[in-house]
């Protein structure tokens, strides 16, 4: 199984380590030429969503990524990756990939100093550690999308068909169950 990881900016190495530990082959996607037909899935990592969106456009990746996801390619977006997937960002007029029927709020937990770690119950998985860094949260889960987890009453994980997204960073913990869940979506 070969997973492409968007490596334009952000926490992509940590996703590589987690997926490799579970036996998946990974490849970093920095240019359109790296986005091949041989991929079984895609990870959109945390980082800065506006920078990632800009680089997706500049590298000619935005439309091919959108088309692959719309065509059924499994994708796992974390933090900024969630923002990239969202059809609507309530406090930002931009839409990036826009394939997931959710509305998110960018930087909803405040500045870097507002970062925190907690545990959350994730539907179908159990209690997981969750690291939030200037994280968004999901304000609305639309038709076809399913809420998977909440923290302090806010939705922080969702799934819609082939798309899995979290407001937190599972790749920054030693718990590999969310990455395993993603690989099981592909299988």
pTM for this prediction: 0.96
- Those residues whose C-beta lies under 8 Å from the C-beta of residue 171, and which sit 6 or more positions away, are 11, 14, 15, 17, 18, 45, 46, 78, 179
User: 37 falls in which pLDDT band (50, 70, 90)?
Assistant: confident
| Residue ranges making up the domain that contains 126 | 2-186
Per-residue pLDDT of 104-130, as tens digits, reads 999 887 666 568 999 999 999 999 999
29: nearest Cα among 12, 14, 46: 12
CATH number, residue 65? 3.40.50.880
3-state secondary structure of 36: coil
Which residues are known catalytic residues? 79, 169, 171
The sign of the CA dihedral 43, 94, 66, 186 is positive
CB count within 10 Å of CB 106 equals: 19
Q: Report the C-alpha gap between 85 and 52 in whole angstroms.
A: 12
For the segment 40-97, what is each residue's pLDDT rounded down to a tens digit?
999 999 999 999 999 999 999 999 999 999 999 999 999 999 999 999 999 999 999 9
Domains held by the chain: number: 1
pLDDT in the model for residue 13: 96
What tokens were used for 157? 């994980």
pLDDT (tens digit per residue) in 124-175: 999 999 999 989 999 999 999 999 999 999 999 999 999 999 999 999 999 9
Q: Which two tokens stand for residue 23?
A: 């036996």
How far apart (Å, rounded) are the C-alpha atoms in residues 157 and 175? 16
- Cα 32 from Cα 29, distance rounded (Å): 8
């Amino acid at each position: 199984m070969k997973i492409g990881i968007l490596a334009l900016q952000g926490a992509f190495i940590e996703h590589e380590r987690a997926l490799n530990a579970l036996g998946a082959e990974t490849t970093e996607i920095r240019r359109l030429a790296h986005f091949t037909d041989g991929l079984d899935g895609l990870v959109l990592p945390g980082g800065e969503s506006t920078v990632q969106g800009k680089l997706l456009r500049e590298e000619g990746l935005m439309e091919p990524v959108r088309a692959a996801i719309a065509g059924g390619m499994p994708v796992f977006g974390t933090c900024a990756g969630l923002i990239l997937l969202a059809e609507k960002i309530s406090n930002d007029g931009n839409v990036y990939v826009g394939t997931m029927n959710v509305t998110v709020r960018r930087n909803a937990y405040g500045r870097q100093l507002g970062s925190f770690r907690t545990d959350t119950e994730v539907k179908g998985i159990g209690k997981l550690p969750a690291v939030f860094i200037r994280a968004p949260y999901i304000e609305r889960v639309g038709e076809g999308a399913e809420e998977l987890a909440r923290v302090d009453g806010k939705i922080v994980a969702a799934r819609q068909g082939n798309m899995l997204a979290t407001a937190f960073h599972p790749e920054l913990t030693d718990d590999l169950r969310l990455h395993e869940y993603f690989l099981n979506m592909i299988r």
